[in-house]
Structure 1
């Protein structure tokens, strides 16, 4: 991308890479309360970002997953924003998973992983527990930690998924932009300003980056 002399381009951006999984999250929508989704379990691989900017990158990842996870319907959703693709699977019960990847990451692999983790979390943790759990209370859940390592290689991971997954309709799902999933009257800039996931420094960065050179922004 072109990098004009602006503050935004001096701040964190992901290095060019193929087929990378930045983060995986298991989320719970709180539809009745009308509040943001709860991120029950989160695993990250931010190695494509500079070591000194990973704090800001992490906040952006959490903000992006929470923004998308709150608004997607039950079923498959694929949302793109500034070089990132958030591929999700959501149950009618409000439990789901989001896989944040590079845009070229194989869709069927990511969505199948999201479905697998959702169903496994529901089975292992149980609705009686996850319905009342708080943010990041299950970050130690082992399957999500192993998945973010294993699925950095989508070809190898896909071999396993082809055996276990019953889901193969991903090609029929449309890729939406972040604006497509926002509710009527919502604006990403305003959500950024109001987010509790972002520090003041990160908030200024993402707001500035959105107004200048979007390719240099993180989620």
Structure 2
């Protein structure tokens, strides 16, 4: 087969699953080697997600080096359906043929979080889904900031970044510029922050965020399913979503059939 010939959809899916499983396995193995994990790896079983404890000593924060940010976005969410006003994505760990599907699901799941009842002004959420984590912060102008990361990315840094992004966005785009329409706006700062904050130590105002988190409760959800309204199902949202291509819907169905630990990628 010619090396330039695109893989079939089925082969892309298979590569996608194997790629993600290997990334997560390598992370888990590195933790075991460093003595940070109490779990065991046996046979060929791959861990589907990692919960990492973040250690704080006075004002010093210690971070591992294999953290990852995938997505930063801002949604207009005062009414359903939520609308993505701006976003930046990083699917560089996936092959060219996989990135379109990965990108669509980043927006899909972020939109689902944006439409949840707890994505309200002043509320912060941390939602685990497979090996990924979604952070959200609602703003009083009727928008919500969403970050998608791996499990290792620290809560304080993600929430600090959301504060920064929302402050800068609302300063540049007053509510009047988007409240009566569904525009896609230019906000290049997101791309810059997505790159810069791959290193969590770039974060500032950590102590300010720590104080805010001490004063307000972060709403923790185990999965995307738990943020849906009663009677709603992800399967139905996938089927109805206009933001997903037929290929992406096929991917989701195949992931469900294989009982994959991660339907996103």
Q: TM-score, normalised to structure 1's length?
A: 0.84
Q: Which residue of 2 aligns with 1:162?
A: 206
Query: SS of the counterpart of 2:81?
Result: strand
Quick check: which has more Rg, 1 or 2?
2
Q: Please say if residues 110 and 146 of structure 2, whose CA atoms lie closer than 8 Å, have aligned partners that are also in contact.
A: yes
State which of 93, 97, 110 in structure 1 corresponds to 2:141: 93
Q: Distance in 1 between matches of 2:211 and 2:131?
A: 25
Query: SS of the counterpart of 2:153?
Result: coil
Q: RMSD of the alignment, in Å?
A: 2.4
> Comparing 8-17 with 56-65, which one deviates more in the overlay?
8-17
Mapping 1:129-140, distance limit 5 Å: 129-135=177-183, 137-138=184-185, 140=186
Q: Distance in 1 between matches of 2:129 and 2:238?
A: 14
Q: Please say if residues 12 and 218 of structure 1, whose CA atoms lie closer than 8 Å, have aligned partners that are also in contact.
A: no
Q: TM-score, normalised to structure 2's length?
A: 0.71
Query: SS of the counterpart of 1:36?
Result: coil
Q: Distance in 2 between matches of 1:190 and 1:56?
A: 18
Q: Please say if residues 86 and 101 of structure 1, whose CA atoms lie closer than 8 Å, have aligned partners that are also in contact.
A: yes
> Comparing 163-172 with 183-192, which one deviates more in the overlay?
163-172
Q: Which residue of 2 aligns with 1:205?
A: 251
Alpha-carbon shift at residue 186 of structure 1 (Å): 0.1
Query: SS of the counterpart of 1:27?
Result: strand
State whether structure 2 residue 14 is matched by structure 1 residue 10: yes
Query: SS of the counterpart of 1:56?
Result: helix
Q: Which residue of 1 aligns with 2:83?
A: 38
Q: Runs of 5+ in structure 2 lacking a partner?
A: 1-9, 28-65
Q: Please say if residues 12 and 216 of structure 1, whose CA atoms lie closer than 8 Å, have aligned partners that are also in contact.
A: no
State whether structure 2 residue 73 is matched by structure 1 residue 73: no
| 1:9 to 1:115, Cα distance in 2 relative to 1, 3 A | same
State whether structure 2 residue 106 is matched by structure 1 residue 61: yes
- Residue by residue over 1:2-38, the C-alpha shift from the partner in whole angstroms, topping out at 9 and shown as x without a partner, is xxxx98961525444631110100111032xxx2111
> How many correspondences in the alignment?
207
State whether structure 2 residue 189 is matched by structure 1 residue 143: yes
